[in-house]
Amino acid sequence: MTKVIDVELRGIMKKFQNNVVVQDFNLQVEQGEFISFLGPSGCGKTTTLNMIAGFLDPDGGDLLIKGQRMNGVPPYKRELGMVFQTYSLFPHMTVAENIAYGLKLRKVSKSEMQERVKRVLELVKLPNVADRYPKQLSGGQRQRIAIARALVIEPSLLLLDEPLSNLDAKLREELRDELKRLHQEIGVTTIFVTHDQEEALSLSDRIVVLNHGFVEQIGTPLEIYNQPASEFVHTFIGKTNRMEGEVVSVEGDRLIVRTKEGMTIHAGKQQVGFAPKQKVIVFVRPEKITLTDTAGAGINQVEGHLQLASFLGSYTECEVRAGGHTLSVKVQMSDKSAERELGTKVFCQWNAEDVLVMPAERG
């Protein structure tokens, strides 16, 4: 089956005065895909979304929607649904009037309007609030209505700019699941801006990781997590232990590295090749390290002392001083390490397959 491309960015560039804030952005979004733009504050996520929406015009490159070049085409000619971080409902209109607004502009008949408003309210699981005013709704409900308003016009593309970031943690998670369900149900091509890696990982078909206006990597959540293209991607996506060192030997797929602090680390197959004496950076995720009270057999085992333990509900985050390093270790509640006293002797162990090695110059 041939792929249908809904949105295409070809070498998009944007500058404000002389400051280039988006550079050489290339992306093809397939029909029905859920794509996230992920990156720290100021990396160019919103600027790029605003160019796709038509609020800003690119200073270089081509933007295509459904195969048509869109540079210079105003937003109202793009048939897009948009939801912003702050609630953008009209306060003097009821929920039903807010949702119907876009339909009115499109001169949809009254009976069809009523039917479509009813349908989207059911879709966002708020069938009984049609006559309320926005101030009579909770923050989470308002964002659901904003989503309903964006969807009612049956847009060819849904653009979401941090729609969950003004909500508290529990609501955020609830609405995140709701967005996932909605996307599965209606399958509208969606571009979602966020600085929250969990949101991006849990919702997206693919993630675009941005840094200082550059695309660092485009990939599925698993690729981004397990095969990061750069140190930036690896460290932005989750907590990690970072150690600098040098390659001691290369045996087939296996590498042995000695850290500056003198710890020997065995690493499994990597995405790139390495040579002895090469300067490298070694990463091990906290959840890949296990703690035991006694030494076992095997590689990547180091004796240490428990320095800190922070109870975080379903898991405990520990700090262990071992082999000249302070290692962060994530311990599940079922593990008795969560109850160990500070200062206790422990052994840290991890598999060679869970070690990521990058050339130091790339860092």
What residues make contact with ligand ATP under the rule CB under 6 A? 16, 21, 39, 41-47, 195
**Min dist. Cβ of residue 12 to ligand ATP (A):** 12
Residue with tokens 């309320």: 132
Q: Which is nearer to ligand ATP, 35 or 182 (CB)?
A: 35
Here the tokens at position 234 are: 């690896």
Quote the radius of gyration of the chain (alpha carbons, Å): 25
Q: 27: which strand partners?
A: 9
**Min dist. Cβ of residue 163 to ligand ATP (A):** 13
Please give the DSSP secondary-structure letter assigned to residue 197. H
The full 3-state SS of 161-189, as one line of letters, equals ECCCCCCCHHHHHHHHHHHHHHHHHHCCC
Q: Which is nearer to ligand ATP, 43 or 358 (CB)?
A: 43
H or E element in which residue 122 lies: helix 110-123
**Min dist. Cβ of residue 61 to ligand ATP (A):** 16
Q: Which is nearer to ligand ATP, 44 or 286 (CB)?
A: 44
Here the tokens at position 147 are: 């989503």
Please give the DSSP secondary-structure letter assigned to residue 288. G
**Min dist. Cβ of residue 273 to ligand ATP (A):** 34
Query: What distance lies between CA 205 and its chain's CA centroid?
Result: 11
Q: What angle do CA 237, 266, 254 make, to 5 degrees?
A: 100
Distance CA 45, CA 25 (A): 11
**Min dist. Cβ of residue 41 to ligand ATP (A):** 3
Q: Which is nearer to ligand ATP, 16 or 76 (CB)?
A: 16
Q: Which is nearer to ligand ATP, 42 or 60 (CB)?
A: 42
> How long is the chain?
363
Note the maximum CA span of the chain.
Answer: 75
Q: Which is nearer to ligand ATP, 41 or 334 (CB)?
A: 41
**Min dist. Cβ of residue 221 to ligand ATP (A):** 19
